[in-house]
Structure 1
Amino acid sequence: MNAPNRYELFVLDDGEKPVEVTEDTKIPNAATVKILKQDHTLANMIRAQLLSMPQVLFAGYKVPHPLHPYFLVKIQTDGTITPAAALEQACTKLIGMIASIEAKFKREFQYKDVEPTAAEDPYGTAAAPAWSGDTRSYMDL
């Protein structure tokens, strides 16, 4: 009913900026970053990565309303780095981490394509019971 079309939640309009940085005038070394067409998944990863950086004093996010596809990230640093630079470093580290996870995932699932031999029982039904020597099933107890 009131919900926007699904594609409006992730497709940027012509001329629409995906990221807007607004410096905070009340708090030193702080900024609010508005990231469009994203949700809690990316927001939580960015917040966690920012908090792992020693230069960042505060990082938090909020999604103002569930029908509006954007979130706000508040960042405060210790002054050795700007909030925008901290965000850029955090995103770069996240991209590297995700690439590493993807490589590990692909490597592990290469072994899935290997055909099991006839002697292997994938469900372990031919194996001896855990209480070895006893031929009873667990249902007989």
Structure 2
Amino acid sequence: MNAPDRFTLFVLDEGEAPVEVNEDTKIPNAATIKILKQDHTLGNMLRAQLLSMPQVLFAGYKVPHPLHPYFLLKIQTDGSIAPDLLLSEACNQLIGTLASLEGKFKREFAFKEADGAGLGATGVGGAGHGGAAFATSDDPYGTGAGTGGTASWGNRDDYLDF
């Protein structure tokens, strides 16, 4: 009843800026950045990426209220680079990391499809599998579901091995 329409939580209005940077006057080399129409997902990823950078002294975020679709990101640097430029660099690194993860994900499932090992008619609780959810060849952890745990890691391919 009091909740806003769902689309207003992620669609920017006409002329609305997605990012607002406010320099902090009380803390040296610090800024508070308001990122609109985003939530904890992006906030936590940016915070983690910023903390992995050696120029960052502090990085944190908060969502002031769940009904307001924005979060505040606070960054303090060592003075060698401005907080807004460091955020831009962190975003580029995060995009590269996510692109790499996407490539690995697609490659592994392409290998799985090429091997022909998908969930077929015998893959889900079929006869001879002891009612197990997966057949031994589809078991990602090598526990040998349905075979008494006789499969081992060394003698089979696993889609978790990068």
Query: TM-score band (shorter)?
Result: 0.7 to 0.9
- RMSD across aligned positions (CA): 1.8
Aligned pair in 2 of structure 1 residues 25, 3: CA closer, same or farther (>3 Å)? same
Q: Output the amino acid matched with 1:40.
A: H
| Alpha-carbon shift at residue 130 of structure 1 (Å) | 4.7
TM-score (norm 1): 0.83
| Alpha-carbon shift at residue 129 of structure 1 (Å) | 4.5
Identity of aligned residues (%): 69
Q: Which whole-Å deviations, capped at 9, do the CAs of 1:71-105 have from their partners, x for residues lacking one?
A: 00000000000000110110000000000000001
| 1:6 partnered with 2:11 | no
Distance 1:56 1:111 in 2: 39
Distance 1:130 1:8 in 2: 51
| Long gaps (5+) in structure 1 | 132-141
Aligned pair in 2 of structure 1 residues 70, 128: CA closer, same or farther (>3 Å)? closer
Highest Rg: 1 or 2?
1
Q: Which has the higher contact order (CA 8 A, sep 6+)?
A: 1
Q: Number of paired residues?
A: 126
Structure 1 match to 2:98: 98
| Long gaps (5+) in structure 2 | 124-134, 137-143, 151-162
Structure 1 match to 2:129: none
Q: Would you identify which runs of 4 or more consecutive aligned residues in structure 1 move more than 6 Å? A: none
TM-score (norm 2): 0.73
- 5 Å-filtered alignment, 1:1-141, equals 1-114=1-114, 115-116=116-117, 122=123, 123-124=135-136, 129-130=148-149
